[in-house]
Amino acid sequence: MLSYRHAFHAGNPADVLKHFVLVELLQYLNQKDKPYWYIDTHAGAGAYALDSGYAAKNAEYAQGIGRLWNAPDLPAALGTYVDVVRAFNDGDALRAYPGSPMIARALLREQDRMKLFELHSTDYRLLGENFAGAGRSVRLEKLDGFSNLRSLLPPQPRRALVLIDPPYEMREDYRYTFETLRDAAARFPTGTYCVWYPQLQRMESRDLPAKFKRMKVDSWLHVSLTTRTPSPDGFGMLGSGLFIINPPWTLPATLKSVMPWLVERLGSDAGAKYELEFHIP
């Protein structure tokens, strides 16, 4: 079982990959004036303190966003992502980290909308506090994002970015993730879908990308960032990956320019690497 209460891991290398790509997806959608929805099936608390509480216990952010914070050779493509995190902090010190909903909020426009699902009672309460006063543009639901995503598809503006980012605390999460993505893509085939998954030595994690690639979709991209060599005992997360349906045609070139730098900066040993595959007609 993977225990992935996100407050423990905020700002780690997996977040860097996920949120950098999320920024790229949002900026691409912003190129057209037509409104869209941002839908998050597992929104979490929305924001995390790094200098206290859970995140300070293991300080995983030090191996993630901490290595980008003042990097003199930061690639230009990572600039907007780091700027969003910087704007979330007061002053030059890195003390807080925005979750996916807060990163999306920073980039969404007045005409766009957010739909956030979160079932965990504590995280839902914190999410509500973090989005207090957000108005009608943000709708929070204390519901299971897996089973309730379909109620929003297809969305009224016929444009949407869906982030599927479960904790994978149960083996069933892998099956739910695949089935949710498959069903959502069939219901709303023109939407953009981004699925995050952890790299583990367990079969469900290793098999998930291959299952995604066997789906009958016209346009997809798979990128992964491995930060360390597998341990002899088989425990621990090695890295993470993203599978995207209907990615921007510009994304492969951006990743090819950035991923080698992330491997060098975030890798912890000689096992660090990245993989990139895509089919974009």
What stretches in the chain show pLDDT beneath 50?
A: 1-4
Q: Domain span at residue 264?
A: 6-279
In a domain, 260, yes or no: yes
Q: Looking at residue 108, what is its pLDDT?
A: 97
**What is the pTM (predicted TM-score) of this model?**
0.95
Q: Looking at residue 235, what is its pLDDT?
A: 77
Which position among 165, 173, 207, 269 bears the catalytic label?
165
In a domain, 218, yes or no: yes
In a domain, 230, yes or no: yes
Residue 218 bears catalytic tag: no
> How many domains, the chain?
1
> Helices H, strands E: what count in the chain?
9, 10
CATH number at residue 20: 3.40.50.150
> What angle is formed at CA 111 by the lines to CA 110 and CA 112, rounded to 5 degrees?
95
In a domain, 74, yes or no: yes
Whether residue 37 contacts residue 115, with contact meaning beta carbons closer than 8 Å, is answered with yes
Greatest CA separation for the chain: 51
Instruction: Give me the DSSP letters along 39-68.
Output: EESS-TTSEEESSSHHHHHH-GGGGTGGGT
Q: Looking at residue 233, what is its pLDDT?
A: 79
In a domain, 1, yes or no: no
Q: Looking at residue 3, what is its pLDDT?
A: 43
In a domain, 207, yes or no: yes
In a domain, 41, yes or no: yes
Percentage above 70 pLDDT, the chain: 96
